[in-house]
Structure formats: structure tokens, C-alpha cells
Amino acid sequence: MNPKIFAPLQLGGVTLPNRLVISPMCQYSAADGCMTDWHMMHLGHLAISGAGLMVIEATGVTREGRITHGCTGLYSEENEAAMARVVQACRRLSHNPIGIQLAHAGRKASVHYPWHGGKPLGAGESPWRTVAPSPIPFGEGWHVPGELTVAEIRKLIESFVASALRAKRIGFDAVELHSAHGYLLHQFLSPLSNRRGDSYGKNRMQFPLEVAQAVRDVWPKERALGARISGSDWMEGGLGPDDAVAYAKELKRIGYDYVCVSSGALSPLARMKVEPNYQVGFASQVKQNVPIAVRAVGMIADPEQAEDIVASGKADMVAMARAFLDNPRWVWHAAERFGVKLDYPPQYARSRSDAWPGANLARKKIGV
């Protein structure tokens, strides 16, 4: 068998050795935006996972663009140095490409860590002023965001560019703009959160595309550039798959190499149907209509499931988040399942089931 998930994929000037991607995952473990030892351990381990691309967590382009006090940022020299330390270590451990997701949380910023409830920070908890296209809070009891002025919008575009330049200096292979999950770029795109009367409201793609273009202008063509987009707001009057297609077409026109099609999280009132492959249909719709590489994500955890998505042409690659947290050896195990030989780090080669008698006993013993 020649599984498609283990075929290389070209994104811009970057070749992914396979189509299995570590989805960006916030760790809420940074100090004023700076990566810590947690990131060294977390990303170091995932760097040797064998995944074709590892995308590092949503990283704030400004201090106020972080979701929580513990989110990573790329808004200062210190942030850049701390991230460079971790990325350089990952580079010494693996040759596989590494990307970073650049983000601004907009009205969803200034909240507690998820394991502390994820609710807005109160007075005395160092909250900050949140911003959005329109002064509509994310939900009941949330901060009312300040409506961004045009001057503030221009500054934010500069912040995205400045962070992209920091990412370039650190040596990332890919930058991914976060324009899903109800964060700032998505807030501009959706009619439910963007009620502006100016051109940024009449053409809701204007701000995201200005950011996309400005980042394209500074991001090297020989690396990869993509965006995470939303396939649906899962709400009456919200964005749907046709909007994702229209946005992806514009990103392609600007020169983006790929999109990852996710959905939801614009409003707590959305009613999502979360089940295996629940977003794959959105990815497939984009794939059918736009000549851009497409990544599917969401409740993909099984190697055959991943293979079916790619082999059937619904998407060019798949991203997984929780599956990798649960099992950083997912790629090794999938390769074994399909009879594909992967280069293990020599220190771990004896864990391969065919390499040492009884090596896979532990896996069998705990019933996985």
C-alpha cells in the first residue's frame, strides 16, 4: 500500500515530508508572551513526532492581542529571543518544517486560562481593553470591546507585519494567519460581529485581506504562507462554506499557499455538531472551488480516517490537535499500520515493534 498521507506535499517553497500536521495549540504557559520550559518540552517532543509540519500556537501580534496572560506573543525582542531558543532546539532535534500561527484575539482577549474557566478577567486581575470591528461583546458578561478606529486598524496591520518579520528572523518555514475561531480577523469577516458603516463593514474582507497582503509582502516566497479560515459560524445569518470559498479565492489571488478550514467559536450561542470529520465537508468545498492547498481539521484521530480524507481528494493534508496531545507517537504508529518505514530518532528506535522483541508489548498491555 502507498498511503497518500505519507506522500510529500509542496507548500510554496517548502516540502512537507508527509500530510500529517500538528494543529496549532495554545499552551497558556508563556510569561508576558515569552515561551518557557513548558514549550521546550512540549514542542521538543512534538518536533520528533514525524509530523510533516508542526504549527505553533496562536501567537499574539500585540500584547493586547493575546487571549490570556499566558499566551505566546511576538511583539517584543524578549518574545523573539525566547521563541528562537525553543525553535532552534527543535531544529537540532528534527528537520521537519515548523510554522507559527499569528493571531489577534480581538473581543475574545483578556480572559482566564481555560483550566480556570476561560471567562473574562475581572478588575484586579490585570484585564486590558479589548478591541473589535464593532462594540459587540462575545457573550453575556464579556468585555465590551472598543470599536477600532481606522488609525488603530492601520497600526494593527503594522503589528502583523512586525510579527511576521520576527517569525522570519527566527527561521520559521511557515506563517499561518488565524482568521477563524472568532478571533479578530474572523470578527471582521462575520456579519454577526462586524456592523461597521465604513468600508471595513461594507466589505468585511477588507481588513483580513489588508493584513494578508501586508504579510505576503514581507514573507519570503521560498517559505510557506497560509491561513486558518472558518467554514461556518454555525449560526443563522453567520458565515457559511460559500464565504470560506470566497475568502480562500482572495487569499489565493494574493499569493497564499494553503488554507486550513475550521469553523465555529464566533459566539457562545452557536450550536455546532461536533463529530468525526465534522469540518471535512467545508474543506472539501474549498478544495473543489479554489486552486489552493487545503488542510482539513477537527475530530480526526484514526489513521484510516486521515488516509480516506486525503486519498479521496477532500483535502491535501490533515491537522490533528488532541490526537497528538494524547499520543505524540501517532505518526509512528500510523506508519507502522500502513507498513511505511520512518526514520525514528536513533535513541527511540528500539520502540519500533519490529526492531526489538517485545517492543510493542507496552502498547498492547494498556489496550491501545
Ligand X SMILES: Cc1cc2nc3c(=O)[nH]c(=O)nc-3n(C[C@H](O)[C@H](O)[C@H](O)COP(=O)(O)O)c2cc1C
Q: Give just the sign of the alpha carbon dihedral 2, 298, 180, 61.
A: negative
Residue type, 195: R
Least distance to ligand X, CB of residue 359, Å: 27
Closest CA to 109 of 136, 71, 81: 71
Q: How far is the CB of 263 from ligand X (least distance, A)?
A: 9
**Least gap, CB of 301 to ligand X (angstroms):** 7
φ and ψ at residue 320, rounded to 5 degrees: -135, 145
Q: Tell me which DSSP letter residue 219 carries.
A: S
Identify the active-site residue in 75, 183, 247, 258.
Answer: 183
Q: How far is the CB of 196 from ligand X (least distance, A)?
A: 25
* CA separation for the pair 62, 156 (Å, rounded): 8
| 148 vs 323, beta carbon nearer ligand X | 323
Q: Catalytic residue at 183?
A: yes
End-to-end CA distance of the chain: 23
> Cell numbers at residue 275, please?
463529530
> At 22, which helix (H) or strand (E)?
strand 20-22
- According to DSSP, the β-strands at 293-297 and 258-262 are parallel
Q: How far apart are CA 90 and CA 88, in angstroms?
A: 5
Q: Which one, 196 or 279, has the nearer CB to ligand X?
A: 279
DSSP string, 47-99: HTS--SEEEEEEEESSGGG-SSTT--B-SSHHHHHHHHHHHHHHHHH--S-EE
Nearer to ligand X, 196 or 306 (CB): 306
Q: Give me the least distance between CB of 28 and ligand X, in Å please.
A: 8
Question: Minimal distance in Å, beta carbon 228 to ligand X?
Answer: 5
Compute the least distance from the CB of residue 357 to ligand X, in Å.
34
Report how far residue 109's alpha carbon sits from residue 6's, in angstroms, rounded to the nearest whole number: 38
- Containing H/E element for 333? helix 330-338
CA dist list (Å): 207 to 115, 188, 237, 290 = 32, 7, 20, 21
Grid cell for residue 280: 471535512
Q: How far apart are CA 314 and CA 340, in angstroms?
A: 22
Q: Which residues bind ligand X (CB under 6 A)?
A: 23-26, 57-58, 101, 178, 181, 228, 262, 297-300, 320-323
* CB closer to ligand X out of 114 and 339: 114
Residues noted as catalytic: 183
